Structure 1
Amino acid sequence: MAKAKIEKMICDNPSISQMDEVVHTLYFNVLKHDSSIKQEQRAWLKQRNFACTTPFYCEKAFADRINQLIDRQHIGQHDLTEGMTLPDINSLDELSLAGMTREVVKEKYRPWPRKPLLTVNGYLSRPQAAVVNDELFIYYIANVNKVATLFEYSPATGKTFAITNDSLRIATSVSYFIEEGKLHFFSIQDGSINSKTITEHQYLLGTELAPGVLNVFRHYDEERYVEYRPSGDEMALSHDRGKLAITANAMNNDRFQIVSKEGPYFAKAQQVTDLAAAKKLNSIVIYDVETNQSEIVSDNAFASGWYINSLAWSFDDQSVFFDNSGNWACIWEYDLASKQLHKIVPEHSASSPFSFHYQGNDYILYEDSIQGETYADLKGQLMLAVRPK
């Protein structure tokens, strides 16, 4: 009877009723990453029943609980850095250790603490991240029974969800992208050269719902081809579309003007860049759209004949990440303001950096691999690194 009286007080008082809904939402947010909250919540409900003798004391009980749950929610979400350690140089493989011997590299070595998030059989590729209602979701492609599959992974719960499957196969030759809470990806329906089609799908982040179909068009429709085809790992447009990063190796490739949506920016960059100097330095060109000027990144570290790949902008467009030898590379960061180049991941098996900001920290996702005795023993690792403070 007393419980019914308290519930009536909550329902009849708009302020307390609203606070009750907030407690409910916060509780289930914490429950996603900490099951011990169940026992704590039961204990609080008993305390609430004793406290709610008047609306004033009832409001105070709810306000205190809301503050407690907010603290618990943020503690759990900040836990991304738990277990991160700096690389141990002595445990590097022979190839990675050899990459640390040059003095110019030692001077630029600024390692980020890191940890593996998950390991899969076979290759893992193209990691990306997005935040939905303050919860982080990570996306990647991995092989499942020899079928490339796009996954969603929640670090808070440790759960993975296969967005695509054997009947809906992602086209690995085409980039997927995240925009306004939705993930866009593409599938290719086999057929003759003239009948092949591309289908664009859309998945609502964090929902585990079946993807919907947005567009269907012919594979060899050149106009649409530009819209969906990735520009490749050798060119990346900043998030604000104000700067274009291009490898010096790609600067002389006129095909980028035709087959990529960044083509107009690329064409202008070619016009204002000393292409011979860029090729000689074998580094990166940064083209500024607003000023119509380009900068060739000059650093003596490039003198060792790198092949730069996997260009990616930081979340704030203030730096560029890349690996320097395709799939067998360490990961570097170039800061545009300071013009400093730093090696942040020493393993030569690391590649495909993706930058994001979450709960006050700068992170990168990247892929790594564990080699076995045979190809079948190869395992892919999804890695997470945080900028040192």
Structure 2
Amino acid sequence: MKFPLPSLVVTGLALAACMSQVQAAGFDCAKASTLVEKTVCATPTLSAQDDELNRRYKTLKHLQVFRLLQTQWLREVRDTCIDSDCLESAYRAQVKMLTLLPIPPAPAKGDLLPMDPTRQYRLQDPDDWQRFTLAKFTAAPPQGDQQIVDAQVLDGVLHVVLFVGQYQRGLEGYVGTLYEYADDQPGLYPIARDIGFVGWATPGANDQGQRFAGIVDGMFYFRQRSGGELQHSMRYRLGSRSAPEASQQVFQSPSNTLRHARARVGQDLNQENYSLSLDYDRQSNNTYSENVTEHNEVEAGWSIVNPTWSETRPVMYFDNEGPRACIWRVDVQYKVLSKIVPEHEAISARPVDIHGREAVVYLEGDQLKLAINPDD
């Protein structure tokens, strides 16, 4: 007969006698002070898992994302356990979180089809996306603007370029400061202060149009207005924390609704942004299109801004400014619409892959934040 494992409180009375006979865990068992730590030291399977976890964490702890993940796990998961079963489960999940995952193979674009018109996207409100503050910056001036310009993971390190400033309609551009966040360096680095930044064809619109600033091969390219209609191209090597330099190369790419697109946004979001529909290249169920959100129903709470496709997955993300304000995820393969960041002030979501896991960086008030999917 199999009996249930005793709680840590009961087990704690017997741990002191056992600890000297058990292989040490990833931390110093001689300094173990809590019942959780003593249980790990006294249980060979838990001690082995702790060693494995620390072996993986050692190669990642120079990155703030993983320090935050580890701190949250210790505080909110491991140290809340009251029995050995809970600890075993907690360690298995965290070892998996620290394991490099392959990016799932993407379906061919022609294999993605519109769903039956009689069906609707399945609405989800997952609560397991872990969210962290990566950095804080000085809030934008009154009526100012904050945008993530681009984000990429290079050699395992997350880099985010963001802009804080004011939209100047007379100049048809922005005046403000560009910042870089690098996950292996503390804080935000000002790439260029008080410049006339030209990043998009239609600044301030729901779909900002063609992009004039972005990351290519570890270099961030942007355009800077120097007076009147004159612009010149600049470049900044990510992570260098050196002054940007003039460049003969000019960055230009399609809007975020077209860049990496798996389907075409079915209406002009600059004119009609109360619904989201997608058009596909192939027909299914006698249709080429599908409605992701309720069609033209302002009361339904949709006001869609900044739709952005993942480079690696058949997924689109968007900010919502209506009553359902937050950040949403559109899975066009499995036809699921998910609210992945619930805070109403969350904006400017940009997708990245962290150690093979799906994640988004976004802005919330004066904070640069990250949300990561633990179930990838």
TM-score, reference length from structure 1 = 0.54
Q: Does 1:153 align with 2:170?
A: no
Gaps of 5+ in 2: 1-53, 74-119, 141-145, 167-173, 202-210
CA displacement at 1:322 relative to structure 2: 0.5
Aligned pairs for 1:262-277 (under 5 A) are none
CA displacement at 1:205 relative to structure 2: 1.6
CA displacement at 1:382 relative to structure 2: 0.8
Show CA shifts across 1:239-269 (max 9, x none).
Answer: 3xx5354263438x6xxxxxxxxxxxxxxxx
Aligned pairs for 1:1-389 (under 5 A) are 72-77=58-63, 78-83=66-71, 108-111=124-127, 112-123=129-140, 124-126=146-148, 128-143=150-165, 148-166=176-194, 168-171=195-198, 175=211, 176-191=213-228, 196-215=229-248, 228=252, 231=255, 236-239=257-260, 243-246=262-265, 248-250=267-269, 282-288=274-280, 294-300=288-294, 303=297, 304-325=300-321, 329-369=325-365, 380-389=366-375
CA displacement at 1:115 relative to structure 2: 1.5
CA displacement at 1:71 relative to structure 2: 6.4
Show CA shifts across 1:124-168 (max 9, x none).
Answer: 322532223332222211249x951111122233142211123x5
Show CA shifts across 1:192-245 (max 9, x none).
Answer: xxxx2121212222222332223599xxxxxxxxx85874xxx51243xx5354
| Closer, same or farther: CA 84–294 of 1 in aligned 2, 3 Å | farther
Secondary structure class of the residue paired with 1:243 = coil
Secondary structure class of the residue paired with 1:208 = coil
Q: Distance in 2 between matches of 1:353 and 1:143?
A: 18
Q: Distance in 2 between matches of 1:73 and 1:169?
A: 40
Instruction: State whether residues 179 and 189 of structure 2, in contact with CA within 8 Å, keep that contact through their aligned partners in structure 1.
Output: yes
CA displacement at 1:105 relative to structure 2: 12
| Closer, same or farther: CA 246–326 of 1 in aligned 2, 3 Å | farther
Q: Distance in 2 between matches of 1:327 and 1:80?
A: 31
Secondary structure class of the residue paired with 1:74 = coil
Secondary structure class of the residue paired with 2:241 = coil
Counterpart residue identity of residue 67, structure 2: D
Q: Distance in 2 between matches of 1:347 and 1:329?
A: 7
Gaps of 5+ in 1: 1-67, 86-103, 218-226, 254-278, 370-379
| Closer, same or farther: CA 133–305 of 1 in aligned 2, 3 Å | closer
**How many pairs were matched up?**
247
- The alignment yields a C-alpha RMSD, in angstroms, of 3.9
Show CA shifts across 1:316-365 (max 9, x none).
Answer: 13111001217993111110111011111112111111110121322111
Is the radius of gyration larger for structure 1 or structure 2? Answer: 1
Counterpart residue identity of residue 243, structure 1: R
More helix by share: 1
Q: Distance in 2 between matches of 1:161 and 1:327?
A: 35
